[in-house]
Amino acid sequence: MSRVGKFLGLVLLVAAGVYRAAQAGDISLSQSLDRSEIPYEEKAVLEIVVSWHGNQAAYRFDRPLQPKLDKLRVREFSSTISSEGSGTDEVTTKRFRYALVPTSSGTGRIEPMVINYASWPDSLPGELVTEAMTLSIAPARKVAKPASLTENLRILLAVAAGIVVVGGVGLGLFIRARNKRPKPVVQTPAELFLERLEQLRTESSGDLKKFQTGLYKQLLWYLSAQFGLQFSNEPVEEIVKRCESVGMPTAQKAAIGNWLLQADRVKFSPVEPAPGETVRLESEIRRFFETITPTRNVED
């Protein structure tokens, strides 16, 4: 290939943005980010496309996609679905479009997302997993605006009025504020476990065995913090049996016991895990513990 051809190919690659695609059977997933660098004051567009052969009712998506972002937030979201062709040639495309804006400068990150679906009419479940993406965010531009005479006068009047008002009650407010101590926020073991799970997911970097090893320790920590159970080197069956003696809810006992058994087996399994298994497992555990984490009131 000539140098001109290589250069044109590179230009087309940059213009197309960041693109990743994964396919599972008859349903496929692709993702794209319209730029790799962005000024702080502008936006980037993330698009996730799911397509399959068949009509729009062939697959069902029950859970909305909620991207987990670092240094970014979703300003706009839209989704569309369309079909082309008919009969055996019909192809359906579902698009999820996110307009992302920066919250701080640096390297913005879009974490992997698990897309759950079910086929129709047999309702067989399945899932697709997106890949992580990054976006370089420039620092915000500082715009200096000179204050007018009217604005300066307004500020002076506001300061003078504030001194008059605050001077009358300042001493009392000071004493009251000094004596008033903020109410400490006490996190439940489930809330602390979710924080530990987030740190474990980051440290494992997609390594399922490393994630399972850490998960085993964190689940034992939760049983100790929530139910006062202490363990040394008991087998998993003995741990589950001891959970019955502290009145643990049946759903928790079944879920935690199953995760402990999986973690214990995976540590010694020679079989390589499927791609995205770590993300899927972490998402499953997080959803379960979020259901047993109490919602705090505004006063808390």
pTM: 0.42
144 band by pLDDT with thresholds 50, 70 and 90 = low
168 band by pLDDT with thresholds 50, 70 and 90 = low
Per-residue pLDDT averaged across 127-138, rounded?
Answer: 92
Q: Is 162's pLDDT higher than 90? A: no
CA-based torsion, 172, 176, 177, 178: positive or negative: positive
CA distance 286 to 190: 10
152 band by pLDDT with thresholds 50, 70 and 90 = confident
* Partner residues linked to 59 by β-bridges: 119
82 band by pLDDT with thresholds 50, 70 and 90 = very high
Within 10 angstroms of residue 245's Cβ, the number of other Cβ atoms is 9
Tell me the average pLDDT of the chain. Answer: 81
296 band by pLDDT with thresholds 50, 70 and 90 = low
Q: Summarize pLDDT for 200-248 with one digit per residue, the tens.
A: 989 988 888 889 889 899 999 999 998 888 888 888 888 888 887 887 8
Q: Which residues contact 66 (CB under 8 A, 6 or more apart)?
A: 113
Whole-Å CA distances, 251 to 139, 194, 217, 254, 294: 48, 18, 20, 5, 17
